[in-house]
Every structure is written in structure tokens, then in C-alpha cells.
Amino acid sequence: MLDRIGVKKLEDLYSDVPAEFLKKGAYALPDAMSEQEIRDYFASLEAMNASLKVFVGQGAYDHYTPAVIPYLCSRSEFLTAYTPYQCEISQGTLRYIFEYQSMICALTGLDVSNASMYDGPTAAAEAMKMAIACTRKKTRVLLSKALLPHVIKVVETYAKFHGVEMGYLDASEGQTSLQALREELSRGDVAGVIVPSVNRYGIIEDHSGFADAIHAEKAILVEYCDPSALAVVKTPGEWGADIAVGDGQSLGLPLCYGGPYVGFMAVKKEHMRKMPGRIVGQTVDKEGRRVFVLTLQAREQHIKREKATSNICSNESLMALWVTIYLSLMGPEGLREVNRISSDGAHYLKAELLKTGKFDDVFPDKPFLKEFVLKPKAFPGLLQKRLEEAGFFAALDTEEGYVSFCVTEKRSKEETDRLVAIVKEG
């Protein structure tokens, strides 16, 4: 090969690199490991982590993963393919993205979904940018203080650099305040409003009147959703939202210390061409057969460069496949049953914890599903430590001084009773 190229040795292939930049000496890396050594080493790392039953949510939910999903997602035709630019040999990827988009639209009640975003918080940040792009001469985006903390932080980071001013909506009563919304809107500079469908306290929010007030000011309503809960709670479409975003993690993705997850975004049709990210559409080939392609690409960075709607290129395609297979397996009844068991478990746990007398209820009249907060009567550090020692990750501290709990269908009644018993002992 060197002869064919016309050089004598491999080093000659770098003759164009100034000699001072060629790395001299050894790299500060370990010696190479064999496959068995890697297994042993990772086993030792794995053993350093705690193995706990998870009773916490806050944006990452420990739902059950059907065995079929990792099995199918590890098929190398899906796993080792690139972005489906050559559609003639990528119909597998393109079809599942089309199915994914269809399912996201079904869940959210909106018209158009893209092919996925990095995660829920970055999808919310993209929605913030989109609100600015969809409105004229508006410079401010409002965030509900009841959004999950990590969503607020990521949106703030993007806003700071993108030059978007932020406003905040009070939620001290456990739900985003319509009164606060009206006051902020009256300033006339609001481009968009981001509110949670189910909020950081686990409460199902009532957004009656939100869309009307927001649209009267020609602003955009963005709903941040837990897609699993959309099986039972009012959809962004039903609330009159323009954009729905959230994290698909609750649709059977492993917790995996925070990623990979999958952000989703769905919008009303009139905002379609302002949407970030890839979109798959249906068409026909030369023989008239139904086929799928990447479409509306005139929005994207490889065509529009600095004028693109976003810089996103790689997304979370394989996790979109994961979600698509999950929703296929669960179907409408399975997803409702997941919500039923989780909600029953959470309501049971909350009632039992209150019976211990060690907590005050914070929002007693507000409806919730799988997640709730309580106010501990004593400093919670000791309690958390005892729970950890007993094998539970629970009672996570919140910024407000509450502790947060979550129950999914993976938590049995026996586990839940044991957790309560530990609390009682303290």
C-alpha cells in the first residue's frame, strides 16, 4: 500500500505536519487491555456503585423495559447505521422514525413531530428558541417555576447565549399561576410560555385559560410533558398548546445515570417549517411504492448553515426506536395500566408516609399520578441514609425543602411497605 502511495513508511504520510506538532514519547494512557481484562475491570467499577430500589423520579423514571426492546435495538442493521441519508438502503430507520413521529403526535395531540432531540431539557430550550423565531419583535420567554429544575437550568443556559430574556411564573400553590401569567403577558414582550403538564411536585396542572391568554398576546404556548402520563392526562393538543416537548425516557428507557435519553418535540402544522431537527416524510419511489425519506431539509444546518432553525445534527435515533417498540408493545391499554399501577402505588405510599406522622402534606388537594412531595418534620439527611442502607433511593431533597418520592409499576407493594417500615423506625 505504501508503494502504491509512493512513500516509504507510515510516518511519511504526515510529512505535511510541522515536525514540532508530531507527538513525541508515550501517551499518558494505561496499557491495552484484552477483552477479559476489560470485563474484569468494568465489573470492579460496577461493584463500586450502590444497587438500590429507586423511589425517585424528578425527570428520570424507573419504568419497566420489555425484554423485546434491547433485543431488537441491538440488531446491528439499526445499531451500526448512520443517519439515513441514502434512503434506498435505510428504509428500516426511516420507517421506524415515521412510526415514532406518528406515535408522538398521537400522544401529544399535535400535528407534526420531528425525529428526536437530545433530551427533554434541550428540547425545551429548542422550543424557547422556536417561540422567539415564530413571533415578531418579542424578546422574552416565561418559564413556570414548577418545571423540573434541570429543565429550567438548561433553558437558562441556552437563553443566556441566544440573547433571550427570561421571566418566571409563580407556582407556590403547587401549580403555575394563571394570575401571574396574565400579569407577565400584559407587558407585551412575551414570545412564548413554557409550562409543565405534570410538574416538579408531581401535580397534574390545570391549564384552563392559558392558551387563550397566551394566544391573545400572539405568543406561543409550550407544554413540557411526561409522555407516559399523556396516556391519562389532558394532552397539549387538548390544552391548545402550539408546541409539546419532553423526555421520552419514561417510555421504558433505562435510567443509565441520565443518558442516553430522547427528547421529543411536536408542533402545530403552522409552525412546521420553524421546527428544529430531522423530519421523515412519506412519498413514492419510481415504481410507485410507498417509501420514506428525510424531508423539509431546507430548515437544517447542512443546507442553511447559520440560517438554520437549529444546529442539531445527530439526535437520539436509536432511543426513538426504543420508544417506538415500547409503545407498540404496550399499546393503549398497557400504557394506561402502567399509569394505574404507578398512581395506585404512589397514592398508597403517600398515605402510609403521612400516617407515620413524620411529614406534613404540602399540596393536599392537588391531583397527582406517580410522584409527590412531602415536607419532613425533621432534617431528612438521617432518614435518607437509613433508607439507602436498607436498599432504597428515596426522599430526594428539593430546592423548596421538601422530599420527593416516586412509585412506578416496578415497585411492589412489599417493597413499598418495607420502605414505610424503615421510615417508621426512625
Partner 1 sequence: MKYYDKLIFELSKEGRCGYSLPQNKFPASPEVPLQLRREAPLGLPEVSEPDVVRHYTNLSQMNFGVDTGFYPLGSCTMKYNPKINEEMAALQGFAGLHPLMHAGLVKGALKVYQEMNKALAAITGMYTFTLDPCAGAHGELTGLMIMRTYHMQRGDFKRTKVIVPDSAHGTNPASAAVCGLEVVEVKSLENGRIDVEALKPLLTDEVAGIMMTNPNTLGLFETEIKTIAKLVHEAGGLLYYDGANMNPLMGVVRPGDMGFDIMHLNLHKTFSTPHGGGGPGSGPVGVAKHLEDCIPDLRVSGFHGNFGVILRAYAYILSLGKDHLKKVGQYAVLSANYIKECLKDKYKLPIEGVCKHEFVFDGLIHDGAHDDVPGATTLDVAKRLLDYGFHAPTIYFPLLFHQALMIEPTETESKETLDAFIGVMRKIADEAAQDPMILHEAPHNTPISRPDETTAARNPILKYQDAQ
Find the shortest distance in angstroms from Cβ 183 to partner 1: 24
Helix/strand/coil (H, E, C) string of 112-143?
EECCCECCHHHHHHHHHHHHHHHCCCCCEEEE
2 makes contact with partner 1 (CB under 8 A): yes
DSSP 373: E
Rounded to whole angstroms, the Cα distance separating 273 from 295 reads 11
Site string for partner 1, 241-280 (x = CB under 8 A): ------x------xxxxxxxx----------x-----xxx
For residues 215 and 190, the answer to whether their CB atoms sit within 8 Å is no
420 makes contact with partner 1 (CB under 8 A): no
Element holding 18 (H helix, E strand) = none
Find the shortest distance in angstroms from Cβ 43 to partner 1: 8
Rounded to whole angstroms, the Cα distance separating 212 from 217 reads 9
In the region spanning residues 214 to 243, those forming contacts with partner 1, defined by CB under 8 A, are 230-235, 237-238
424 makes contact with partner 1 (CB under 8 A): no
Determine the interface stretch with partner 1 among 138-146, 296-304, 371-379, 418-426 (rule: CB under 8 A): 296-304
Q: Any idea which residue has 505504501 for its cell?
A: 2
Residue choice 139, 168, 295, 378 for contact with partner 1 (CB under 8 A): 295
356 makes contact with partner 1 (CB under 8 A): no
Determine the interface stretch with partner 1 among 134-142, 165-173, 216-224, 339-347 (rule: CB under 8 A): 339-347
Angle, helix 413-425 to helix 317-355, in steps of 10 degrees: 50
Closest CA to 149 of 96, 201, 190: 201
Measure the CA angle with vertex 386, ends 382 and 388; round to 5°: 115
211 makes contact with partner 1 (CB under 8 A): no
Residue choice 188, 209, 332, 401 for contact with partner 1 (CB under 8 A): 332
217 vs 278 by CB, closer to partner 1: 278
177 makes contact with partner 1 (CB under 8 A): no
Find the shortest distance in angstroms from Cβ 143 to partner 1: 14
Determine the interface stretch with partner 1 among 166-174, 181-189, 321-329, 353-361 (rule: CB under 8 A): 321-329
Which triple of cell numbers denotes residue 295? 424531508
Give the number of other CB atoms < 10 A from CB of residue 64: 13
Give the number of other CB atoms < 10 A from CB of residue 86: 9
Site string for partner 1, 71-110 (x = CB under 8 A): xx-xxxxxxxxxxx-xxxxxxxx-xx-xx-xxx-xxx-x-
Residue choice 8, 136, 137, 306 for contact with partner 1 (CB under 8 A): 306
- Which 3 state secondary structure label does DSSP give 247? strand
175 makes contact with partner 1 (CB under 8 A): no
17 vs 421 by CB, closer to partner 1: 17
Residue choice 8, 30, 364, 379 for contact with partner 1 (CB under 8 A): 30
Residue choice 178, 296, 390, 422 for contact with partner 1 (CB under 8 A): 296
Residue choice 336, 355, 377, 424 for contact with partner 1 (CB under 8 A): 336
19 makes contact with partner 1 (CB under 8 A): no
Torsion-angle region of 265 (φ positive above 0: left; ψ -120 to 50: alpha; else: beta) = beta
54 vs 178 by CB, closer to partner 1: 54
Q: Any idea which residue has 419504568 for its cell?
A: 63
Q: Strand pairing partners for 336?
A: none
Which triple of cell numbers denotes residue 345? 402505588
In the region spanning residues 109 to 148, those forming contacts with partner 1, defined by CB under 8 A, are 109, 111-113, 115-116, 118-122, 129
Phi first, then psi: give them for residue 336, nearest 5 degrees: -65, -40
Tell me how far CA of residue 271 lies from CA of 108, 111, 248, in angstroms: 15, 10, 22
93 vs 144 by CB, closer to partner 1: 93
